Structure 1
């Protein structure tokens, strides 16, 4: 998954204004105690981060 697609999905799910705030501030144990931004910076694949976000935040199946 390209980062542009990842951020598009984040915007669609959480809203343009909140997606970045969530990604910057929400520490997720599923990402090793990192935020989305930190996980991506530490080399996590965007597709894997998206999967984690979907499970942790109960994203509807049709949005995954």
Structure 2
């Protein structure tokens, strides 16, 4: 997952609240950093996306997000 895909997934899931969540919500699994701080520290965007989904209680069926329009086919 790239940073642009992360931001697209945040926008798709959270809409206008997305930018506030990325800059203000502290994510415990990421060492008490916000998503923005974690991105700047080099944490993988997919790890940040999943931590954000857990913290915001996004249902499992929507966590594939990852900036893609549909989940990957296996």
Q: What is the TM-score with the length of structure 2 in the denominator?
A: 0.76
Structure 2, gaps ≥5 residues long: 64-74
Structure 1, gaps ≥5 residues long: none
Aligned length: 63
Q: Distance in 2 between matches of 1:47 and 1:28?
A: 14
**Counting strand residues as a fraction of each chain, which structure ranks higher?**
2
Which of structures 1 and 2 has the larger relative contact order (alpha carbons within 8 angstroms, sep 6+)? 2
Deviating beyond 3 angstroms after TM superposition, the runs of 4 or more aligned structure 1 residues are none
Q: Distance in 1 between matches of 2:56 and 2:20?
A: 15
**RMSD of aligned Cα (Å):** 1.1
Q: Which has the larger radius of gyration?
A: 2
